[in-house]
A and B are shown apart, each in its own frame.
Chain A
């Protein structure tokens, strides 16, 4: 009887240990990765250092990484437990945060979807002027 209770206590402790292993220090780690990658993707569009071919090739690789990262964020339960504003805003703006999956819904290329979500049209771009804000 005494041994049995000892085993039960050990198993409970093991379960607690497993749970604490699961709880990583930064719950927003995956979301931060996604945001970083998305920034790189948008930078890929605006940078003048790349040729059209290079932009296309690099863009495709980033999209592939973005797909994984978006799925990781959506499947990561730690994010919702973080209770952070960043997480809240990320889910509120699905169209922009989960760019690749949202673009697939709208049957547009991810970049076109991003421009469309922010209402940036060709016309607006032509009318725009460069200068200090």
Chain B
């Protein structure tokens, strides 16, 4: 055996050793991570890029459909959303590489194929790390949105409760009732004035009726103004409170879908771990075919002719 051959074998051995080590480490990490992802999605989600929304009084005063837009805008400007976009881009790149590798691998053989498969596992592992981080961030964002919508809803209810129990609200209701009572006899009272010989209308009555029509038109324009429109779901006008409840329901839906995705993520991680393990076994013990391969030279019957002369 020459020195070159020795070096080559040594190098191969080292390479195989490092690959093995890498695979073992990867397998262990994968298995550990796959458990973690499913068991503790929340603890992983509270990573550094954060978003801390607050249900301020200013926010509560906005129309419900604007509240949603405002929250979304605030979220998009946060470090959390920026990181999520970055992760999306990275994952997209990873997927492209994985797809191209999957096409190349069947064409390769031997060590080149093994190396490529190892590389593929690394990319898959990297992709799963990114997916895990993205999943955590999504989970965290949804939890924060849920908290935010809940506190906005609570504040809204508190305010409407305060208004309903408020003294001035009671007076307002009494005034409305009194006004309605007055409206019923308004013509009767005007006619009674004529009986009293006071036909001439007072400046207040005269001007008031003139202005009243204009006020009604202005009120109608305000009510029909798009900025003043009440929130709609499926084309039906709903109250702000109901709109927020719908938003909370949408968050719950997204959360349950994320839970499903977490399960998928854990299964994908497990598959990568199993692939890594299979590759490790293959490198340690070789293929069954190659291990059972017996050359012609090792068969005594085929070489007997070499030992005698006919």
Contacts and interface: CB of A to CB of B under 8 A. Distances in A.
Interface centre among A60, A65, A88, A91 (most CB of B within 10 A): A91
B167 A83 contact: yes
A70 B190 CA distance: 13
Contact of B204 (A61, A72, A82, A91): A72
A107 B147 CA distance: 60
A4 interface: no
Contact of B171 (A88, A94, A100): A88
Given A83-B167, A83-B168, A100 B189 contact: yes
A60 B196 CA distance: 7
B158 to A, nearest CB: 19
B205 A94 contact: no
Interface stretch (A12-20, A73-81, A115-123, A124-132): A73-81
B199 to A, nearest CB: 11
A63 B196 contact: yes
B226 to A, nearest CB: 16
B174 A101 contact: no
A43 B174 CA distance: 28
Interface in B166-191: 166-168, 170-172, 174-175, 177-179, 181-182, 184-186, 188-190
A111 interface: no
A64 B200 CA distance: 10
Contacts of B188: 104
A67 B200 CA distance: 13
Nearest to B173: A80
A68 B209 CA distance: 12
Contacts of A92: 174
Interface size bracket, A side: 20 to 34
A36 interface: no
B171 A68 contact: no
B174 A91 contact: yes
Contacts of B208: 71
A64 B202 contact: yes
B198 interface: yes
Contact of B193 (A67, A72, A75): A67
B198 A60 contact: yes
B161 interface: no
Contacts of A87: 171, 175
Category for how many chain B residues contact A: 20 to 34
B197 interface: yes
B185 A88 contact: no
Given A64-B198, A64-B202, A67-B189, A79 B175 contact: yes
Contact of A91 (B175, B193, B202): B175
A74 B168 contact: no
A98 B178 contact: yes
Contacts of A105: 181, 184-185
A61 B202 CA distance: 11
Contacts of A63: 193, 196
Contact of B168 (A70, A81, A98, A101): A81
B181 A68 contact: no
B239 interface: no
A7 to B, nearest CB: 15
B185 A82 contact: no
Given A67-B189, A101-B182, A104-B188, A80 B202 contact: no
Contacts of B178: 74, 91, 94, 98
A98 B197 CA distance: 21
B223 interface: no
Given A60-B198, A79-B175, A98-B182, A104 B192 contact: yes
Contact of A82 (B168, B193, B198): B168
B168 A68 contact: no
Interface of A: 60-61, 63-65, 67-68, 70-72, 74-75, 77, 79-83, 87-88, 91-92, 94, 98, 100-101, 104-105
12 contacts: A64-B202, A68-B204, A80-B172, A81-B172, A83-B171, A88-B170, A91-B171, A98-B178, A100-B189, A101-B189, A104-B188, A104-B192
Q: Top 10 nearest A-B pairs by Cβ distance? A: A91-B174, A80-B172, A83-B168, A68-B204, A80-B171, A74-B179, A104-B185, A104-B189, A60-B196, A80-B175
